[in-house]
Amino acid sequence: MSDEVKGKVFDHLFTTKGVGKGTGLGLAIARQIIVEKHHGSIDINSTEKEGTEFVITIPVRNRVFFDIL
């Protein structure tokens, strides 16, 4: 991915697929579930025209548990 694309992949409706092909919702929804619901993180390792790796980190216990401590 180019740096420009990398900066937008989690935006709602952002897609580089053709008209009628992609909704641009896949990664926005994935980010919502991982970051907002599970308080985790999603990171991108990407080399343009070679490949992309998404690294997902999700805490074992809910953050609310730690807030109480």
Ligand X SMILES: Nc1ncnc2c1ncn2[C@@H]1O[C@H](COP(=O)(O)OP(=O)(O)OP(=O)(O)O)[C@@H](O)[C@H]1O
Q: List residues binding Mg ion (CB under 5 A).
A: 26
Residue reference for tokens 């991108």: 44
**Using CA atoms, how far apart are residues 60 and 19, in angstroms rounded to an integer?**
39
Q: Rounded to the nearest whole angstrom, what is the least distance from the CB of residue 5 to ligand X in the complex?
A: 5
Q: Which is nearer to ligand X, 2 or 68 (CB)?
A: 2
Of 25 and 59, nearer to ligand X (C-beta) is: 25
Residue with smaller CB distance to ligand X, 17 or 37: 17
Q: What is the DSSP letter of 18?
A: P
For the chain, how many residues are written? 69
